[in-house]
């Protein structure tokens, strides 16, 4: 064997070894410790260390320096722009990775301020929500389709609601009709994924045009990973799911349906009229000629009723033709709560407390305020009224359809709607 052949052989073997090493390393990071809903004592902020730093110090450090860079730039920005600057006094960020544990173990916090007590209550609320979710994910008597599917078996297209911000290590699963426009705005600003007309990343969430907020090309979502990472995309997802702070906002499922109906069928919306109102009217109203455009239908006062909408949801043909539209698709199908270990579960019903708490948890509360909502929000108290005209049997079937969302997120069964 000549010297050059030997050299080639060494190079080839070396490369093979490196590739194997990388694959094994990724496997370790990706699957070891990737326990679903088992580690609830871990620190609230994944950036603050704990067991997570031990697996991959390099990634953690890169990540930390990313955060530092962001915070620096944000601080610089905040001092030059009064609009974004919080008017509230700057609060103490939640201290250290162990503060929660200390509190739970009876740490004396009597000397703390009202504000800190509020933060503690919020942490306990989060613990409660996560425990409820964990309990039902583990409870084998409680079942629903896809519940026991592994993360690897979730098709890519069902991961299209998970928005990733690599700059701060945040993942948000958006649920339409649950303040998602504003959280998407926040994600765009954090990840600098969209440039304004001057070519500068948007820094004020409220300046982002609504159509851009909902344009999927403004966001990096899990279903796009294959383009970037090829066959390593699942590994990358798992690494990010393990390292990043994952949050979700949920809402009472029946109230969410009312809200979806109001915004997509009571307001003139050409796309929703063509895709959904026409099939609903054709199937469930006795009209022989259904108007072909929203404009015509609205001038004639022809709209699907809430009851026809419910009929459409219960009709087996609907799901056979295509999966539920995201505005009424169940949260468990959008966000896979038994496969993804969410660090923060917010509720629309307590948005005013949960949004600041999440920003505190992300250490962004002094830099950033959640945009206020000006929309005419559907109130939970309207539920009885809206469902009073829906036959009891339909209400019971509808509950079954949305039961996992009620149970997993701790919404009480609406008994008064389910009995005579
Ligand atoms: C498990 O789920 C079943 C069915 O929903 C319920 O009756 C039971 O109380 C649950 N068990 C626990 C421990 O939560
Ligand atoms: C979404 O954004 C992309 C890139 O900016 C643009 O090409 C596309 O037309 C937009 N889509 C819609 C529906 O506005
Ligand atoms: C449609 O017609 C059938 C029979 O003609 C009737 O029973 C039903 O109540 C009608 N539905 C509506 C929504 O008018
Ligand atoms: C809010 O919605 C309700 C019911 O859809 C409607 O009656 C009311 O006029 C709306 N209010 C505003 C300010 O748009």
- Of the listed ranges 10-24, 64-78, 288-302, 338-352, the least confidently predicted one is 64-78
Q: Is there a domain that residue 166 lies in?
A: yes
Mark whether 277 and 366 lie in a shared domain. Answer: no
Among all chains, which residue has been given the structure tokens 């294959």? 226
Distance 183 CA to ligand 2 centre (A): 20
Distance 365 CA to ligand 4 centre (A): 32
What is the pLDDT of the chain when averaged over all its residues? Answer: 81
- What are the pLDDT digits (tens) for 371-413? 776 567 888 889 999 999 999 999 999 999 999 999 999 999 9
Mark whether 239 and 363 lie in a shared domain. Answer: yes
Ligand 4 atom 10: residue of nearest CA: 376
| Structural tokens at position 328 | 């009424």
Q: Is there a domain that residue 49 lies in?
A: no
Tell me the β-bridge partners of 163: 172, 221
Going across the sheet that includes 162-165, the strands are 162-165, 170-173, 245-250, 344-347
Mark whether 112 and 202 lie in a shared domain. Answer: yes
Instruction: Kindly tell me the burial class for residue 55, based on how many C-beta atoms sit within 10 Å of its own C-beta (0-12, 13-18, 19 or more).
Output: middle
Distance in angstroms (rounded) separating the CA atoms of residues 101 and 204 = 36
Tell me the β-bridge partners of 248: 173, 345
Q: H or E stretch including 191?
A: helix 180-191
Distance in angstroms (rounded) separating the CA atoms of residues 161 and 326 = 9
Mark whether 322 and 350 lie in a shared domain. Answer: no
Residue 346 has pLDDT above 90, yes or no: yes
Q: Which atom of ligand 4 is nearest to the CA of 378?
A: 2
Q: Is there a domain that residue 8 lies in?
A: no
| Structural tokens at position 56 | 């991959």
pLDDT for the residue 389? 93
Mark whether 130 and 175 lie in a shared domain. Answer: yes
Give the ligand with the smallest distance to the CA of 308: 3
Q: Is there a domain that residue 23 lies in?
A: no
- The distance in angstroms from the start CA to the end CA of the chain is 90
Q: Is there a domain that residue 7 lies in?
A: no
Q: Per the confidence metrics, is the pTM higher than 0.85?
A: no
Distance in angstroms (rounded) separating the CA atoms of residues 116 and 271 = 47
Distance 264 CA to ligand 4 centre (A): 14
| Structural tokens at position 12 | 């080839």
Distance in angstroms (rounded) separating the CA atoms of residues 276 and 40 = 42
Distance 260 CA to ligand 3 centre (A): 26
Structural domains in the chain (count)? 2
For residue 210, the enclosing domain spans 66-252+335-380
Q: Is there a domain that residue 54 lies in?
A: no
């Amino acid at each position: 064997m000549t010297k050059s052949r030997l050299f080639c052989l060494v190079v080839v073997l070396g490369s093979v070894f490196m590739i194997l090493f990388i694959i094994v390393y990724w496997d370790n990071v990706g699957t070891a410790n990737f326990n679903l809903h088992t580690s609830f004592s871990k620190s609230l902020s994944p950036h603050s260390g704990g067991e997570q730093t031990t697996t991959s110090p390099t990634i953690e450090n890169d990540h930390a320096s990313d955060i530092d860079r962001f915070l620096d730039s944000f601080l610089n920005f905040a001092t030059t722009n009064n609009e974004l600057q919080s008017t509230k006094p700057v609060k103490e960020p939640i201290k250290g990775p162990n503060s929660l544990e200390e509190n739970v173990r009876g740490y004396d916090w009597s000397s703390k301020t009202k504000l800190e007590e509020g933060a503690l209550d919020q942490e306990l609320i989060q613990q409660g929500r996560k425990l409820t979710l964990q309990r039902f994910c583990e409870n084998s008597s409680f079942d629903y389709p896809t519940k026991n599917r592994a993360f690897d078996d979730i098709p890519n297209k069902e991961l299209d609601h998970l928005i990733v911000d690599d700059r701060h290590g945040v993942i948000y699963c958006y649920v339409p009709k649950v303040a998602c426009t504003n959280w998407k705005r926040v994600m765009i600003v954090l990840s600098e994924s969209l440039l304004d007309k001057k070519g500068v990343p948007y820094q004020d969430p409220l300046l982002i045009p609504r159509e851009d907020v909902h344009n999927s090309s403004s966001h990096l979502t899990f279903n796009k990973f294959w383009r970037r990472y090829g066959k390593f995309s699942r590994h990358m997802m798992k690494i990010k799911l393990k390292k990043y702070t994952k949050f979700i906002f949920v809402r009472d499922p029946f109230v969410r349906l009312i809200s979806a109906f109001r915004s997509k069928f009571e307001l003139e919306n050409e796309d929703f009229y063509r895709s959904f109102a026409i099939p609903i009217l054709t199937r469930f109203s006795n009209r022989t000629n259904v108007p072909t455009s929203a404009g015509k239908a609205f001038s004639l006062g022809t709209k699907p009723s809430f009851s026809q909408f419910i009929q459409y949801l219960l009709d087996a043909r609907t799901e056979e033709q295509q999966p539920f539209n995201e505005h009424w698709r169940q949260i468990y199908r959008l966000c896979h709560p038994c496969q993804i270990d969410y660090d923060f579960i917010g509720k629309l019903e307590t948005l005013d407390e949960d949004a600041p708490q999440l920003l505190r948890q992300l250490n962004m509360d002094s830099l950033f305020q959640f945009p206020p909502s000006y929309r005419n929000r559907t109130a939970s108290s309207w539920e009885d009224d809206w469902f009073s005209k829906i036959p009891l049997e339909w209400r019971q079937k509808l509950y079954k359809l949305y039961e996992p969302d009620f149970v997993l997120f701790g919404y009480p069964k609406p008994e008064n709607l389910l009995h005579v």
